[in-house]
Structure 1
């Protein structure tokens, strides 16, 4: 009798074992889009197959008093898919847009669209009429599925916006077809037979950039499924290194969905991972830390993933409440970096839960690097090490690869990386170089391959995980009839990481509250500047004529810091 082999000493060794020929996570190299990519040999080729393999009578969706099993969700997705094809003429490659709260119908719409080869366009539910109209026109939506809040905003769009609408949970549907009626008519219908290839377009998620309108991030079935398998591989590698043999849980795991599904964190890291792992997913209408603690106790929630602002709220609620939160096993992060203090607080605030986080983007389908448990507690400022299906490098301004420890722009390439921005060929030519994507983040890698994000090249604000393009907010400010110049920038915020600040110059008598009221019709609530400074003089500019935004931002930060001390 021989002794069992010792666990692998390094992550690289664990990954090599798990991805070898014949293993469940076996990797092979294929040329995709003109570049070699590492692909999971045993992954389902498309989301349609992935959903079909997960059909069971286990509970999947929980919303208030409503509960649906995996089988019931798949049944309803098949019915909706048949309606999209037969009544609305949706074909392969057509865009099916939807925007609503975290209702079960969001999940059903996503599954229905991607299962018939259509492109699921997950629109930001916080958008106002201007942005909603832009998104629908930009993607060329064949049909729009929306709840009452979004229907009300749709009414504020221009008359030339012609798109058929399906109304979800609406008491004032107008001319829109009612979701409930369509589903009743399709009772007994099954999922239409459609041939879908792994590299066909599957989704468009809109993300704010540093200038102009939001950009549509186009991902394929393979991009998304590679991200899901990569997360599973990292978990398995961590267990292998600790000598832990995975065993089925004693009871069904449960995830709490507190973030919007229109973000890749909600859609990929929570919703689709729940499908893969047969987890129940409890959907919140909107974030409320007190209600979240109640749900965790009642539903025995085992995992919660959210930006730092929300996990910080839960840490404070855990200290305040007497509720039993001991079912939590993991508190994941994403969307924005955590302060090192919060990392330690997670480890000490819950009976069993350990923190984890990672760096990823909408463009990478939320994966990139990952770190968790003791490894994270020991390196709270790091975003972790690179996924097995991705590559990272750091470049200086001359395009040279930098050694460990030196800061430069972070570039990434690999199998989960999106294929490009929708209808933006010029931009795609700028941000891709030999298959590498320029992230706009300033970062460095240490000697062990741990990534540290230190700054951003892009003019972008990350408010509690929400990306806010400064240019978009500036454009909305300049729609105000009495504002002549506007500069928008990030200011530090203890809870959200960053808040939106603005300095404006214009006609005498400008009032910050009146400006915010004006912006409510042009921006989502989270994009409206919390801090507005009225400058009596034209804004300072550099030699090229650009506004000296850094000086305005630094002055705003100093002013806020002084106010906080007094």
Structure 2
């Protein structure tokens, strides 16, 4: 398998190939990069000409072609310049998923400015903090966020979509590969969000790596002619928030680069999503495990086939094996996939799809070309194959640092290596397995307990939809492990406890299992909010059972 992948990579990256490699230097470190990633983010605008008449955005009753999006963005770029926006200025985008948001992004890049992707689901104070941090020249907002931000005195513009004839050409400003291209904010689960800065090279490398992974899959399935075979336009469901790397990078910009159609989901309402997929012939869906569970349940309630789906992928956390089984059963025509990445790596740096994923479902995927991944101990020493430690990454896709936050940048980056804060292990074939977040790891009685491993064991039990494990203070052990679960129906705690006794070592089993009838609390990116769970535990909420 490794030899097969190596031959495919060589074919895709040779001189003249779509993903041709070249020698580059990033932060004083020599490395290999993709030639096309040196061109600047505005190089993506070629798609507006290439796919001009294709439908690009579907949002409720609004349907816009590639040409219409370019036209509206060109007009808005002119407005930005009239409002005093200059190359290198930051323009904050604060709004719900919409065609206007995407047009605002394109217009900002066309004006030579740097889009700062504000978490629009946060409080007014959270949004104001992000906008002030990047010293935004202008805020492009929807009406709701403009009202929320009014007390802070920012220059806000609520743009209208103008696709009438006579728009000027869309500007395509040049940029040096290392110049800042965009700022994405971290999820802020452990404090105030930081602005991860992606250079033009990093942003394009992340995008090209995802395309290259898709090309590798196509070649495996259909042979060397796969890249030249006619392919109908794909339709991708836009379910992730656009301010997140999975929404902006992996979905929006990927569709722009590939000429695909984006189908906007106003909000995640599974029953409505099923109807939307059927009506629009959606071919690709990606979401958190909880979202995919919801989709499967809604599909069954509706008696729908959703046979247009050819790609179903999950991400954002370790994937439970029983979810993979459920996806394969529910969507037999779809290629299943998962991966691992971060805001700071412009998307995935490891991917798992199809038969490889089915054969090794506990891994997040094989490390992608150009991404150097090592596993290190607490002292920063490299660990051998198979041992668990912190995942560190280096490559042209890695962030150049956090905007206006040198201390955080220095903590996260050293000699080009990014500390991800994730615990994992590599096998001899280059497959990466995610075990936990460093901040989630529980140390009980001197033993390290990886919560993600415990959660995976719980979710192997039939009927468990989602689970979360976390530590609470304990006078004797320092910390003890607690779990919260939600089932498809009533949860048999005795059966679950028996299952865990046969699956996990003594010290890795939860001392309590709590049942909730509601979904687990999650942050705006769909990740379980363990701070909220700990707070609920302190207040004595939930039904307990000894494990």
Give the TM-score of the pair, scaled to structure 2.
0.80
Task: Choose the corresponding residue for 2:234, options 248, 253, 256.
Answer: 253
Counterpart of 2:544 in 1: which secondary structure? Answer: helix
Give the Cα–Cα distance (whole angstroms) in 2 for the partners of residues 350 and 185 of structure 1.
41
Counterpart of 1:418 in 2: which secondary structure? Answer: coil
Task: Choose the corresponding residue for 2:28, options 24, 34, 40.
Answer: 34
- Displacement of 1:98 in angstroms is 1.3
Task: Choose the corresponding residue for 2:138, options 139, 143, 151.
Answer: 143
Distance 1:408 1:299, change over 3 A: same
- Displacement of 1:131 in angstroms is 0.6
Superposed CA deviations along residues 2-44 of structure 1, whole A, max 9, x for unmatched, are xxxxx99421222122212222211112112211232212457
2:61 maps to which residue? Answer: 65
Q: Which runs of no fewer than 5 residues in structure 1 stay unpaired?
A: 1-6, 169-178, 464-469, 471-486, 497-523, 537-555
- Displacement of 1:258 in angstroms is 1.3
Task: Choose the corresponding residue for 2:395, options 414, 428, 434.
Answer: 414
Distance 1:411 1:184, change over 3 A: closer
| Contact in 1 for aligned 2:47/2:259 (Cα 8 Å) | no
- Displacement of 1:91 in angstroms is 0.7
- Displacement of 1:354 in angstroms is 2.1
Distance 1:231 1:188, change over 3 A: closer
Distance 1:259 1:10, change over 3 A: same
| Contact in 2 for aligned 1:210/1:458 (Cα 8 Å) | no
Superposed CA deviations along residues 59-101 of structure 1, whole A, max 9, x for unmatched, are 0000011100011101111111111012x11011101001111
Distance 1:495 1:418, change over 3 A: farther
Task: Choose the corresponding residue for 2:86, options 88, 91, 100.
Answer: 91
Counterpart of 1:251 in 2: which secondary structure? Answer: coil
In the alignment, is residue 344 of structure 1 matched against residue 304 of structure 2?
no
Give the Cα–Cα distance (whole angstroms) in 1 for the partners of residues 538 and 485 of structure 2.
22
- Displacement of 1:366 in angstroms is 1.2
Task: Choose the corresponding residue for 2:129, options 103, 128, 134.
Answer: 134
Task: Choose the corresponding residue for 2:154, options 129, 153, 163.
Answer: 163
2:532 maps to which residue? Answer: 529
Give the Cα–Cα distance (whole angstroms) in 2 for the partners of residues 236 and 525 of structure 1.
29
| Contact in 2 for aligned 1:8/1:240 (Cα 8 Å) | no
| Contact in 1 for aligned 2:74/2:167 (Cα 8 Å) | no
Give the Cα–Cα distance (whole angstroms) in 2 for the partners of residues 66 and 535 of structure 1.
47
2:175 maps to which residue? Answer: 196
| Contact in 2 for aligned 1:8/1:241 (Cα 8 Å) | no
Distance 1:526 1:76, change over 3 A: farther
2:358 maps to which residue? Answer: 377
Counterpart of 1:562 in 2: which secondary structure? Answer: coil
Task: Choose the corresponding residue for 1:233, options 196, 212, 220.
Answer: 212
Distance 1:151 1:564, change over 3 A: farther
Give the TM-score of the pair, scaled to structure 1.
0.77
2:522 maps to which residue? Answer: none
Give the Cα–Cα distance (whole angstroms) in 1 for the partners of residues 537 and 241 of structure 2.
34
Give the Cα–Cα distance (whole angstroms) in 2 for the partners of residues 531 and 450 of structure 1.
33
2:17 maps to which residue? Answer: 23
Superposed CA deviations along residues 501-558 of structure 1, whole A, max 9, x for unmatched, are xxxxxxxxxxxxxxxxxxxxxxx9996936744869xxxxxxxxxxxxxxxxxxx8xx
| Contact in 1 for aligned 2:42/2:174 (Cα 8 Å) | no
Superposed CA deviations along residues 337-379 of structure 1, whole A, max 9, x for unmatched, are 2211101111111141121010000000112100011111121
Distance 1:184 1:283, change over 3 A: closer
1:117 maps to which residue? Answer: 112
Give the Cα–Cα distance (whole angstroms) in 2 for the partners of residues 75 and 119 of structure 1.
20
Alignment of 1:295-314 (within 5 A): 295-314=276-295
- Displacement of 1:331 in angstroms is 0.5
2:314 maps to which residue? Answer: 333
| Contact in 2 for aligned 1:207/1:216 (Cα 8 Å) | yes
Q: Which runs of no fewer than 5 residues in structure 2 stay unpaired?
A: 442-450, 456-469, 471-478, 489-525
1:511 maps to which residue? Answer: none
| Contact in 2 for aligned 1:293/1:314 (Cα 8 Å) | yes
2:186 maps to which residue? Answer: 207
Counterpart of 1:426 in 2: which secondary structure? Answer: helix
Give the Cα–Cα distance (whole angstroms) in 2 for the partners of residues 137 and 64 of structure 1.
33
Task: Choose the corresponding residue for 1:359, options 336, 340, 351.
Answer: 340
- Displacement of 1:227 in angstroms is 1.1
| Contact in 2 for aligned 1:394/1:410 (Cα 8 Å) | yes
| Contact in 1 for aligned 2:85/2:113 (Cα 8 Å) | yes
Give the Cα–Cα distance (whole angstroms) in 1 for the partners of residues 290 and 251 of structure 2.
17
Superposed CA deviations along residues 322-349 of structure 1, whole A, max 9, x for unmatched, are 2230010000122122211101111111
| Contact in 2 for aligned 1:77/1:111 (Cα 8 Å) | yes
Counterpart of 2:158 in 1: which secondary structure? Answer: strand
Superposed CA deviations along residues 214-243 of structure 1, whole A, max 9, x for unmatched, are 100111121111111111212222333445
Counterpart of 1:74 in 2: which secondary structure? Answer: helix
| Contact in 1 for aligned 2:310/2:334 (Cα 8 Å) | yes
Counterpart of 1:10 in 2: which secondary structure? Answer: helix
| Contact in 2 for aligned 1:227/1:366 (Cα 8 Å) | yes
Give the Cα–Cα distance (whole angstroms) in 1 for the partners of residues 424 and 74 of structure 2.
44
Give the Cα–Cα distance (whole angstroms) in 1 for the partners of residues 186 and 411 of structure 2.
17
Give the Cα–Cα distance (whole angstroms) in 1 for the partners of residues 375 and 358 of structure 2.
25
Give the Cα–Cα distance (whole angstroms) in 1 for the partners of residues 533 and 380 of structure 2.
38
Give the Cα–Cα distance (whole angstroms) in 2 for the partners of residues 210 and 193 of structure 1.
36
Aligned residues: 471
Give the Cα–Cα distance (whole angstroms) in 1 for the partners of residues 527 and 142 of structure 2.
18
2:521 maps to which residue? Answer: none
